[in-house]
Every structure is written in C-alpha cells, then in structure tokens.
Amino acid sequence: MTHNSHYQLSPASQNSQPDEKEKGRKKKPSPNKRINTLLGLFGVFALLLGAQLVRHQIFGMLPDTQTASAEISAKLRPRGAIVDTDGDPLAIERYRYDIAVSPNIIRNKQKAAAFLGAKLSIPVDKVRQILEDNQDRPYVILKTNVPQDVGESIRAMNSYTVTAAIFPQRFHPEGKMAAHVLGFVSLDNQGFYGLEGYFDNFLLAQTNKIEPLPSPKFKKQSNDAGKKAALPASPYIPSIAQHDLILTLYRSLQYIAETRLEEGVKKYQADSGVVIIMNPKSSAILAMASTPSYYPDDFASAPSGDVFVNPAISKIYEPGSVFKLITFASALNDHIITPESIYLDTNKFVYYEQRIENWDHKGRGKVTAQQALAESLNVTTAKIAVDVGADKFYKTVTRFGFGMNTGIELANEAAGIVRTPKRSDEWYPAYLATNAFGQGISVTPLQMANAVAAIAAGGVLHRPHIVRMVINGSSIRSKEVESVSRAISPEAAKTLTQMMIAAANHTSKATIDGYAIAGKTGTAEIPGLGGYKEARTIATFIGFFPADDPQFLILVKLDRPKASAWASSTAAPLFRKIAQDIIHLYGIPPDDIRLGVSP
C-alpha cells in the first residue's frame, strides 16, 4: 500500500500474500453442492420440534433468504483496531443487529406480527402492515440496530424467514478523544478524515470470515523522558480484521492536551484552538488536540461538516512572530548574524513601499539580534531577512518544510502557501520583509511545530508521524525515524536554542522554575477586507524542554482570544500548564538535579 512505504517489515514476520486477482475472484458453487446444502437444511428443519415447529408454522423457511442476508453482511467487512502506543483502544469494532423478514413466505402474518411486535417493541399493526405491503418480497429490513440480546435470541430461532444480520460498527471507548486524529466511519463502512480516511482500504478486513488471530509480539515503547516510569502490560488484542494500527499517541498526554485546551479556550474566550505535543528528536506525535470537536460514534449529530476537519493539519493561517525563528535560523546558518549583531530599530522601515512597524509602534534604537528576538521586533527581523537575501531566505524556508505536505499519515493535509521569487507572477519583493515576521505566508500548526522540532533536533527536519506500528496479520511493520532535510547546521541550531531560552524567559508566563524552556510567542493579526485587524488575532506559543536535551515540544494555538489579543497572556500560560502536567506525569526532575549541577 502506498501510504505505508515508510514502514520497515520485520524479517521474521514476512508472509506470502495471495495474488490480487485470486483475492477478488469468487468461486461458484457446483449444482451438486447446492442440492446437498438444501437437503441438509431441510434435514435440520425436520428435526426441530415443539416451540420450533410452532415458529415455522408462522414464519416458514427459505434458505435463499439467509444467503441474501449473508451477501449483505459481506459488504460490511470488519475494520482493524486503532490503539495508542500502550495498546489502549481508541477505535475498535462492535456489532449491530438488523432484523429482516421474508414476507413472501410467512404463512400467518397476524401471528408473525404479534410475535415480532412484542419481540422488537414495534406496534403489531405496523408490523402487520409492513408484512402485507411487502408480501411478494423475499427480504425486508424490519428494524435496525436492535440490542444484542434481542438479536441473539432471534438468531437462536434458526428461522429462515426472520433473521438477525450482524454488521460491524465502529466504537470509540474514549468517546471523542482524538476524534480529529481518528476520523469517523460512515454507515456504509467507509472511513473519512484522519486515520480512518488515510488507511481506509488497509483497515478493512480482506474477508468476512472470522478466524482466531495469534498475538504478534508487541513491545512497549516509552517516550525518552518517561523511561523510568512503571508502565502496565499492554492491553492490545489483535482485531479479527487482522489489520491494526498502533499509534505514537499516549492516551495520558492526549487527555492532558484536550483537557487543558478546552480550559484555555473557555478561559481566554477563544473561538477554537489546537495543541500538538511531539517528540522533537523523532517528530513522533505524542498528542494532537483540537476544539471544537465531535463524537465519532455520533458524527451525524455534528453541527456542521467543518467540525470534522483537523485544523492541526488542514487549516492554514499566518503564523506571526513564531516564524521569526525561521528568519533567525536562516541568518545564523548563513553567518549573517550572531546573537550580538547590532541593528538600528527605528520603527520606521520601508521596503519596496511596504512600511514595517513593531507590534507596539515603538522603536528601540540600537539592539542586538538576541534582543530583537526576545522582544519580537518586526523592524529588526525584516532588516535581517533583507540582509540574508531572498534566495537564501526562501531556500531555508523550503528546507524547514513549508509550502509542502509533511507526509503525516492523516487524510486531507494542507500544504500551506509560500510565494517565492521563482514565481514572479505571485511574488513581490516586499514579501521578503513581511514573510520574515510571519505575514503573507500561510502554514499549518503541524508544519510550524515540526519546523521548530528541527531546531531542537540539531537542525535536522524529520517527517512527522503518528503511526508507530502497522499490524498486518502476524507481521509487524515498525515506523522508522525519517530524516527529510538538514534545515540548518548543528551550530546554528544550538545558538538559536540559546536565543530561544532567553526569549522564553522574556515571556515569563511560559517559564517554569528550575527548567530551561526554549520557546517563542506569536501574535498574528488576521487578514480581512481592508487589511489586518489588531483586534482579531491568533495567539501561538511553541516551546521545547528540557532545552539541553529536548524530549517534548508543545505548540499551543488559540484563535481569536477575546480575553487578551496577545499570545504572551494566553497561549504562553496555557503552554506552561501543559508542560507542568507533563513534568508531573513523567517525574522529570529540575535541570540542576537531572544534570547533577550544584545550585
């Protein structure tokens, strides 16, 4: 399957696969076999006594009806399980029972209506009317999604004129947890959005036959910072579909991300929000939360189709000042600046008729590059980009993965919008100055998080992934960390990390005593008719820790917060709450204790 090209198949678990043509070819039963089957069925019928005989006097018998039911069931094959990295189920199969009748051979429709009405809690007159209106039809659905005990009791009747067809149905034990990651499955068993959409064909069982499946060897893998944590045995049980996904998500971290995000959206009166937690060394997604959300088990009740879209990967926005990290990365990588480089910040910089101003409309005079990043100065950042030059700047932007899909295993990913000098019909020289501080360029939250993860990873951009293992029968395909590009040099990444620590300390609402956090705020004005509106903003904070040995990266994005327009007062404190939860969950000691440094 093309979507799984980045997984390594374990040598000991390779299985020969049947030819695709053979899998799709159905064998026709011979006439003798059909006759033998019918004779056998009539033989069984002849042995039924007592109450069974009474039932058959009412309902009759038609083997072809059961065959029709089986053919319908075959169209809805079971789907594989989706579990978190510890094996906790997120999306699994349960079964619904649909009750069907064969009115054309039911002898006593009045008695049948009385029996079925009582059994299925349907008015007797309504059942009788259905039977009479469809008296020439061999198969009519009478009621769908009946309780299991009712369905099984009808199946136990062994009648051919009233049957309980079993259909697989998606079930999410954790409710709406990770809904945007998982996606949903329609009533006709088709996956949409998220993992269900991306792996739709893979997750479907290749057969409707249920067979016991041997458990594959499943080795638990903890995040680096949590290696000392005592983890329970994996609850993962292979599904009957034999096509399962084991994710990089941690249920505990997903809970933290979703809970804190909902609290933050409410507290800061935001319209919506996104939280992404990553392992910056591998770009494994540990949690991905978005709000508002929905219940995949009840997707039809969603207020609109827009709620199904995962804003972390599918909705683009202008990132604002967090994009300054890319500008400084380019300048450091090409030796245009050092942290001590001096610039004159006047708050009046015009470049190709485009006037650039600082966020507070004030100049600072002579500033260092370090100060310009910490105070998030637009004017100095634009001047740095001009010094770098368009060619080098946009090459760096491309190496960080902007303007293209990241390749994560989720459906409907957006590529973002990056205009470059290579397309002169779309690019204007002034874009260099505005793109430098995150205006006129559009990204997804995942792209932005992954780019900063590259800084934490010593300058190497990795392909983000959310699937840890693919279980295909008894074979296991494990995800390998994939390097995409060297965005910047290790030296530039190290220097920028130190500058980010200073920037985070300048935004004190994001810091945690005893822990060095490298981070950056971003308050982006939202473009609209007539230009940018200061009252409408997108607040972002991205940071990683421990800064000397990054284990966690967190992106927080709040859309149109009304309590405050500034990320330093909204996204930054929300980042701190999430980081504190992670530190507590994994028992991460303060830096001086962890590094053995005397205070």
546: preceding bond cis by omega (within 30 degrees): yes
445, 350 contact by CB (below 8 A): no
Residues 6 or more apart whose Cβ sits within 8 Å of residue 100: 65, 69, 139, 140, 141, 142, 162, 163, 164, 165
**Residue ranges of domains in the chain, CATH in brackets:** 55-83+91-171 (3.90.1310.10), 174-248 (no CATH), 253-298+310-595 (3.40.710.10)
Q: What is the 3-class SS of 237-280, one letter each residue?
A: CCCCCCEEEEECCCHHHHHHHHHHHHHHHHHCCCCEEEEEEEEC
Give me the DSSP letters along 168-221.
Answer: EEEE-TTTTTTHHHH-EE-TTS-EESHHHHHTHHHHB-S-S-----PPPP----
Q: Does the pLDDT at position 143 exceed 80?
A: yes
Residue type present at position 511: T
320, 524 contact by CB (below 8 A): yes
Q: What are the structure tokens assigned to 431, written together?
A: 């874009």
The band of 534, judged by pLDDT with boundaries at 50, 70 and 90, is low
**pLDDT mean across residues, the chain:** 85
Kindly state the helix (H) or strand (E) to which residue 368 belongs, with its residue range.
strand 365-368
pLDDT at 443: 98
367, 340 contact by CB (below 8 A): no
Looking at 169-173, 244-248, 293-297, 496-500, which range is the least confident one? 169-173
CA nearest neighbour of 183 among 80, 313, 308: 308
Mean pLDDT of 498-513: 94
pLDDT digits (tens, 9 = 90+) for 312-322: 999 999 999 99
pLDDT at 426: 87
Q: Comparing 114 with 34, which gets the higher pLDDT?
A: 114
Kindly state the helix (H) or strand (E) to which residue 318 belongs, with its residue range.
none
158, 232 contact by CB (below 8 A): no
pLDDT digits (tens, 9 = 90+) for 264-295: 999 999 999 999 999 999 999 999 999 999 99
pLDDT at 3: 44
Mean pLDDT of 405-422: 96
**What is d(CA 238, CA 471) in angstroms, rounded to the nearest whole number?**
8
Q: Comparing 121 with 59, which gets the higher pLDDT?
A: 121
pLDDT above 90 as % of the chain: 69
The band of 19, judged by pLDDT with boundaries at 50, 70 and 90, is very low
pLDDT at 532: 75
The band of 528, judged by pLDDT with boundaries at 50, 70 and 90, is confident
Residue type present at position 449: A
Report the Cα 461 to chain-centroid distance in Å: 20
Q: Does the pLDDT at position 378 exceed 50?
A: yes
Looking at 141-145, 549-553, 558-562, which range is the least confident one? 141-145
Looking at 31-45, 533-547, 555-569, 582-596, which range is the least confident one? 31-45
Q: Comparing 165 with 133, which gets the higher pLDDT?
A: 133
Looking at 97-101, 145-149, 510-514, 532-536, which range is the least confident one? 532-536
The band of 6, judged by pLDDT with boundaries at 50, 70 and 90, is very low
496, 455 contact by CB (below 8 A): yes
pLDDT above 70 as % of the chain: 81
The band of 37, judged by pLDDT with boundaries at 50, 70 and 90, is very low
Other beta carbons within 10 angstroms of residue 261's beta carbon come to 25
The band of 593, judged by pLDDT with boundaries at 50, 70 and 90, is very high
pLDDT at 348: 85
Is 555 in a helix, a strand, or coil? strand
Q: Residue 458: which region, alpha, beta or left (left: phi > 0; alpha: psi -120 to 50)?
A: left
Looking at 67-71, 108-112, 244-248, which range is the least confident one? 67-71
90, 185 contact by CB (below 8 A): no
**What is d(CA 34, CA 325) in angstroms, rounded to the nearest whole number?**
72
pLDDT digits (tens, 9 = 90+) for 149-193: 898 899 888 888 899 888 788 999 999 999 999 999 998 889 999
The band of 211, judged by pLDDT with boundaries at 50, 70 and 90, is very low
Residues 6 or more apart whose Cβ sits within 8 Å of residue 22: none
The band of 207, judged by pLDDT with boundaries at 50, 70 and 90, is low
Q: In the beta sheet, which residues pair with residue 559? A: 272, 538
pLDDT at 70: 43
**What is d(CA 542, CA 445) in angstroms, rounded to the nearest whole number?**
10
